[in-house]
Amino acid sequence: MIRLKGAEVSAKIKEQVEKMLSEWEGPVPKLAIIRVGENPDDISYERGAIKKLESFGLRVQSYEYPADISDEAFKKAFRAINETEDVTGILLLRPLPKQICEKDIEEMIDPAKDLDGISPVNIAKVFAGDTSGFAPCTAEAVVEVLKQNDISLTGKRVVIVGRSMVVGKPLSMLMLKENATVTICHTRTRDLKGTCREAEILVAAAGRARMIQEDYVGAGAIVVDVGINVDENGKLCGDVDLESIEEKAAMGTPVPGGVGTVTTAVLAKHLVKAGQRK
Ligand code: NAP
């Protein structure tokens, strides 16, 4: 099995971003990362995003708020960032604490700054196959991993395990736009293993440590692992047991070092696009 490394895909996206920036005239685009509370996963994602974007020559500013901030105070702060001229794009780390109405924020965010595709406008565009908005970065990262490795989606049988609004659903639409034939699976899917085995491209986005074993994979399949989990030994792992599928799959993405690495590169690309569109 060939391992599809995220770093190689990220390097190609970096070249595209640098080219876009070399033709740039205005101020360098700036990302605002908004974090409420001290969730270690959010902090780690934020650190990774800052490092990646700065290495691409982009600007980042973090905005941090206490976990017990009121709905009203957070919305006031959010509105101010949303309206700041110097802020080109926004990444809001979610989920937000329950006292804040997340739906209101999704509706408030300026679609032109909504780099992770959370606003109803951008979601509608993804579902309409309209590429003038922003798709969720992780979903787009999966498509980038395939495209940058010259894997065509046209006519392919794709199976996606997971139907969240962050990954499974938008990804199914992005792949449909690329002319794949897409099946979406979830916890109520009957014969999950059999369905997965029929996939030429299998995407695991269930959030279940190493659930995809050899018996879920058809011979010669390409397996993309979106999962980021911590196993019983506290070790970071994906939804796919890569060792178990080694002899059966043609290609697979590792965790860490796979889709996650590409997600922040897509975020950088979205930021530059937001700047261009402005
Ligand atoms: P989520 O909201 O919890 O959704 C998980 C989906 O998987 C649900 O649709 C669920 O089905 C389905 N599922 C769970 N267990 C299943 C099982 N045993 N069999 C079949 N379907 C099952 O998770 P998410 O936000 O989409 O994230 C999924 C994974 O991707 C997580 O590990 C997350 O950490 C990771 N992630 C990675 C990135 C990245 O940059 N690489 C970004 C975001 C998320 P039901 O709908 O029936 O419950």
- Among protein residues, the one with the nearest Cα to ligand 1's atom 2 is 164
Burial 161-179 (b: 16+ CB within 10 A, else e): bbbbebbbbbbbbbbebbe
**Is the C-beta atom of 89 inside 6 A of ligand 1?**
no
Q: pLDDT tens digits for 233-254?
A: 999 999 999 999 999 999 999 9
**Is the C-beta atom of 146 inside 6 A of ligand 1?**
no
Could you tell me if 7 and 141 are in contact, meaning their C-beta atoms sit under 8 angstroms apart?
no
The band of 278, judged by pLDDT with boundaries at 50, 70 and 90, is: confident
Strand order in the sheet with 30-36: 59-65, 30-36, 89-92
**Is the C-beta atom of 227 inside 6 A of ligand 1?**
yes
Indicate yes or no: pTM above 0.95: yes
Q: pLDDT tens digits for 117-140?
A: 999 999 999 999 999 999 999 999
Which residues on adjacent β-strands are paired with residue 182?
A: 158
* Residue among 13, 210, 226, 230 whose CB has most ligand 1 atoms within 8 A, to mutate: 226
Over 90: is that where the pLDDT of 24 sits? no
**Is the C-beta atom of 125 inside 6 A of ligand 1?**
no
**Is the C-beta atom of 228 inside 6 A of ligand 1?**
yes
**% of residues, the chain, pLDDT over 70:** 100
* Phi-psi domain of 207 (left: phi exceeds 0; alpha: psi -120 through 50; beta: other): left
Which ligand 1 atom lies nearest to the CA of residue 189? 20
The pLDDT of residue 25:
87
Q: pLDDT tens digits for 145-181?
A: 999 999 999 999 999 999 999 999 999 999 999 999 9
* Phi-psi domain of 124 (left: phi exceeds 0; alpha: psi -120 through 50; beta: other): alpha
- Tell how far the Cα of 262 is from the centroid of ligand 1, in angstroms: 18
**Is the C-beta atom of 93 inside 6 A of ligand 1?**
no
Round to whole Å and give the CA distance between 13 and 23.
16
The pLDDT of residue 275:
96
- Among protein residues, the one with the nearest Cα to ligand 1's atom 24 is 164
